[in-house]
Amino acid sequence: MSREIVIDPITRLEGHGKIHVFLDDAGDVDRAYLQIPELRGFEKFAQGRRAEDMPQITSRICGVCPMAHHMAATKALDDLFKVDPPAAAKKIRELVYSAFMFEDHALHFFFLGGPDFLVGPAAPKAERNILGVIGRVGLEVGKEVIGVRQQLRALIGQTAGKVIHPVFGLPGGLSRPLDPELQQEFAAAAARAVEFGKFALGVFRDVVLRTPEFVEMVTAEAYTHRTYCMGLVDQADKVTFYEGTLRVVDPEGREFLRCDPREYLAHIAEHVEPWSYMKFTFLKEVGWKGFTDGMESGVYSVAPLARLNASEGMATSFAEEAYEELVSTLGGKPVHHTLANHWARIIELVYAAERMAELAADPEILDSQVRTLPTAVPVEGIGVVEAPRGTLIHHYCTDSRGLITRANLIVATQNNAARIAMSVDKAARALIKGGEVDDALLNQVEMAFRAYDPCLGCATHSLPGQMPLIIAIHDPGGGVVREIRRD
Amino acid sequence: MRTLILGLGNELAGDDAAGLLVARALREELAGRADVVESSLSGLALLEIFVGYDRAVVVDSVRTGRNPPGTITELALADVGRVSAPSLHHTGLPEVAAMAERLGLRFPAETRVLALEVVDPYTIGAELSEPVAATLGPLARRVRDQVERWAEQDGARARRRADGTRRIGARGERSCTTTAPSEPSSSG
């Protein structure tokens, strides 16, 4: 017999996250988890369509990270048609992708995660919102976040055709070379972004790191899971977003796996739970041992902190400095404290800005040769990028005419789903005792999974509304005894 | 006065396309009177779309389970909710508006939200459900009516302004006297 608490979003106005908390006879938490509804039917929808349409189709799946899907799909087409894009095409793709990573991370760091650490959980509830963040960092900073994002999004739009649904990626390259004027504008925007990144790091140091309570909160056991970590790395084992080797480190930080990302199926398997649409990915070689951490559990983590753990640092100078500071402040690698994702995110933001500056300054990026025409008969293609929220995998099989026969996507949040479930469970356990359910649960539980920036957005773009979350508490018989909603 | 019609949705996901389809259907008809924009974005990412407009109509699908499919619910921004702690990507419209105001950005002073109760907004490749398909016309009409109401208000305001101009120095209404183009001397 157990009771269950459900945090359910009922309406699209409120979003889609749903948390269930099952209580045991003593009123303590037996099991808690986050349920994330997903779009259904993608595979069926894709079947019979032209593979070349996938970058456009998949970018429409999600209103949050269309560029990540566009890029993973485009790379899958390179692989499908066995064609290697010219250097300039790869550089332009990475330039645009870095701009996208920057603007996405900037949004989350300041306005979505900001209330948790720039304002802080101890601040009055009325201040724990975007306006509180602006109050803390100042109006000018708020305007600069909007301004720099706006500038980058305009450049992404001009380069990729459309900012929301990019159209520039083709198998073997791009639809057009980079205009020299745009290159100059990218260079200027990148310089601004680098300054902004350095400034954001400064804000983090001043507002957060000098607050002992924050460091205590970050390192608290309640927000710590010792899992495997996954990410793409470059030839020097540094973090890379666009292209690299898939690397996994074990909970002790030792390299566990290094492979061509196209071999993902040999290493990643999916576990299904009756209570979720989500398929929980895990490391095949370790095996599924349930929602638990440690060396024996195949659960792994992706997203900013996992990328830092899975790498040997950052490829650019300011980001590398910031990386070293994180590692030394938090007691060495690997860092398993979920809330440190916010810090890792700002370090990645700096890297994205610096990488943009490098690419924009590269004369080769203006080369007019941006397409290698595909000639191979298509069979199977896999494309992998690091999306803002972690490793994103697109996998297509086609017939000889290039029509999709099978399509599989593993999205970043899916890679993180098991660990997110563990975080929700741990937070709920810490807060619910003897049947007493504190309303603070909502916020504490949210903090646990907000650090991952999980994408519930694949189906959700609904504009109005407040919280995407309702908590339902179920009794030992499964009945809902209480719902906590933010109204 | 600049007017924005914003259709939200995911055109691949069954009923979720409703907002986009309504916007698309109105684009030509409303040309010159309102800018019609389709978007699949959410939360703060929408801020840039709103900035620069004086008023807006947002058309989106909603699944509350509390109303029959095809029900249109109209909300003013104030009805949508107060500013609360944001979550995930779901910074809501009130937060977007509050933030724009705090940052001194030009944001619509009036925003109407038309929410259409749908059946299934989650299945990629699904057809529109019957009740939703049948409501697209009425929903478009609601948007058109709103645009016309605003146009009438503008006309009335312009007439009052003209009237105030003719009777300058008499008992002009506040809205006239402050905006009447016949009073440039006040800034000189």
| Inter-chain CB proximity A464 and B63 less than 8 Å | no
Shortest alpha-carbon distance between residue A453 and chain B (Å): 6
Separation CA B113–CA B115 (nearest Å): 6
Quick check: B75 and A464 CB within 8 A?
A: yes
In B18-122, which ranges are E strands?
35-39, 55-62, 72-76, 110-117
Residue A405's SS3 state is strand
Phi, psi of A396 (to 5 degrees): -125, 140
A66–B16: do the CB atoms touch at under 8 Å? no
Burial class (CB in 10 A: 0-12, 13-18, 19+), A132: buried
Task: Identify all chain A residues contacting B81, using CB atoms and an 8 Å cutoff.
Answer: 464-466
Q: What is the pLDDT of residues B7-54, one digit of tens each?
A: 988 888 888 899 999 999 999 999 999 999 998 877 777 888 899 999
Closest CA–CA distance from residue B73 to any residue of chain A (Å) = 12
* A464 with B92: Cβ contact below 8 A: yes
Contact A103, A149 (CB under 8 A): yes
B88, pLDDT greater than 70: no
CA distance A457 to chain B (A): 7
Q: Enumerate the residues of chain A whose CB falls inside 8 A of the CB of residue B10.
A: 39, 60-61, 63, 459, 461
Specify the DSSP class assigned to residue B46.
G
pLDDT, position B27 = 95
Dihedrals φ, ψ of A269, to 5°? -125, 170
Question: Do the Cβ atoms of B93 and A40 come within 8 Å?
Answer: no
Burial (0-12, 13-18, 19+ Cβ within 10 Å), A376: exposed
How open is the CA angle B116-B117-B122, to the nearest 5 degrees? 105
Percent of chain B with pLDDT over 90: 40
Residue B78 binned pLDDT confidence (cut-offs 50, 70, 90): low
Query: Could you tell me the two tokens for B182?
Result: 């016949």
Q: Which residue of A has its CA nearest to B19?
A: A462
| Nearest neighbour of A486 by CB, restricted to B6, B84, B115 | B84
Using the structure block, give the residue that is written with the tokens 């684009």. B27
Which of B11, B12, B66, B90 has the highest number of chain A CBs within 10 A, making it the mutation to test binding with A? B90
Q: DSSP assignment, residue B126?
A: P
Contacts of B125 in chain A (CB under 8 A): 41-42, 44-45
Calpha distance B123→A487 (Å, rounded): 28
Q: Which residues contact B174 (CB under 8 A, 6 or more apart)?
A: none
Question: Measured between CB atoms, which of A63, A129, A146 is closest to B41?
Answer: A63
- CB pair distance less than 8 Å for A130 and B125: no
Contact B32, B41 (CB under 8 A): no
Alpha helices in A232-311 (DSSP H): 264-267, 304-310
- Of A44, A64, A165, which is closest to B89 when you measure between CB atoms? A64
3-state SS, residue A60? coil
| Count of Cβ atoms closer than 10 Å to residue B37 Cβ | 18
∠ CA A28-A32-A38, rounded to 5°:
165
Q: How many CB pairs under 8 A join A and B?
A: 196
B28-31: long-range contacts (C-beta < 8 A, 24 or more apart)? B29/B144, B30/B5, B30/B144, B30/B147
* Backbone phi, psi, residue A7, to 5°: -105, 105
Pairwise CB contact (< 8 Å): A461 & B80: no
Q: For residues A234 and A314, is the Cβ–Cβ distance under 8 A?
A: no
**DSSP code string of A327-369:** HHHTTSSSP-BGGGHHHHHHHHHHHHHHHHHHHHT-GGGG-S-
The whole-model pTM stands at: 0.87
Residue A293: other Cβ atoms inside 10 A: 21
What's the alpha-carbon Rg for chain A, to the nearest Å?
A: 22
A464 and B9: CB-CB below 8 Å? Answer: no
- Judged by CB atoms closer than 8 Å, whether chains meet at A40 and B122 is answered as yes
CB count in 10 Å sphere of residue A139 = 12
- Name which of B12, B88, B94 is nearest A112 (Cβ-Cβ): B88
Low-confidence ranges of chain A (pLDDT < 70): 1-18, 35-39, 63, 125, 163-164, 277, 437-442, 455-473, 481-487
CATH code that applies to domain B3-154: 3.40.50.1450
Tell me which of B105, B124, B132 to substitute to probe the interface with A (most A C-beta atoms closer than 10 Å).
Answer: B124
Cα–Cα distances (Å) from A140 to A188, A484, B32, B102, in that order, read 20, 36, 35, 11
* Beta carbons of B174 and B159 less than 8 angstroms apart: no
- Please give the residue of chain A at the shortest CA–CA distance from B105: A143
pLDDT at A328: 94
At residue B181, φ and ψ (nearest 5 deg) are: -65, -10
Other Cβ atoms closer than 10 A to A10: 16
Name the B residues in 129-188 with CB < 8 Å from any A CB: none
Q: What is the pLDDT of residue A163?
A: 62
Sequence-distant (≥ 6) Cβ neighbours of residue A81 within 8 angstroms = A171, A172, A374, A375, A376, A378, A381
Is the link from the previous residue into A454 a cis peptide, with omega within 30 of 0?
no
B87 in contact with chain A, both atoms CB, cutoff 8 A: yes
Whole-Å CA distances, A49 to A45, A59, A164, A181, A209: 8, 15, 22, 36, 51
* Cross-strand partners of B8: B39
| Chain B contact probe: residue of A463, A469, A470, A486 with most B CBs at under 10 A | A463
For the segment A167-185, what is each residue's pLDDT rounded down to a tens digit? 899 999 999 999 999 999 9
State the pairing for strand pair A404-410/A390-398. antiparallel
CB contact under 8 A, A40 and B84: no
CB distance A284 to A266 below 8 Å:
yes
* Residue A328 CB partners (closer than 8 Å, separation 6+): none
Enumerate the residues of chain A whose CB falls inside 8 A of the CB of residue B78: none
CB contact under 8 A, A130 and B86: yes
pLDDT at site B144: 97
**Residue in chain B lying closest to A123 (CA):** B85
As given in the structure block, the two tokens for residue A308 are: 């830092």
Which residues are A56's β-sheet partners? none
Q: Do B58 and A143 touch (CB under 8 A)?
A: no
pLDDT at A221: 87
A148 CB-near residues (< 8 Å, 6+ apart): A103, A106, A189, A192, A193, A196
Contact A420, A17 (CB under 8 A): no
Place of tokens 């105030």: B164
Q: Return the pLDDT at A171.
A: 96
**Chain A residues with CB inside 8 Å of B63's CB?**
11-12
Residue B48 at interface with chain A, using a CB cutoff of 8 Å: yes
> Looking at CA atoms only, how far is residue B179 from chain A in angstroms?
29
Instruction: Say yes or no: B3 contacts chain A, CB-CB below 8 A.
Output: no
Token code pair at residue A304? 């900013």
CA A235 to chain centre: 22
- What stretches of B6-129 show up as alpha helix (H) in DSSP? 18-26, 47-50, 77-80, 93-102
Measured between alpha carbons, how far is residue B58 from residues A5, A11, A114 in Å?
Answer: 34, 17, 27
> How far is A369 from A111, CA to CA, in rounded Å?
40
Structure tokens at A136: 């803390």
- A152-180: burial string, b at 16+ Cβ within 10 Å, e else: bbebbebbbbebbbbebbbbbbbeebbee
Nearest residue in chain A measured CA to CA from B94? A464
Domain with CATH 1.10.645.10 in chain A: 84-224+337-373
Fold for A84-224+337-373, please state it. Cytochrome-c3 Hydrogenase; chain B (1.10.645)
The mean predicted confidence, pLDDT, of chain B is 79
Contact A462 B62 (CB under 8 A): yes
Q: How many CB atoms lie within 10 A of CB A254?
A: 9
Q: Which residue of B has its CA nearest to A11?
A: B64
Residues 52-71 of B with CB under 8 A from A: 58, 60-66
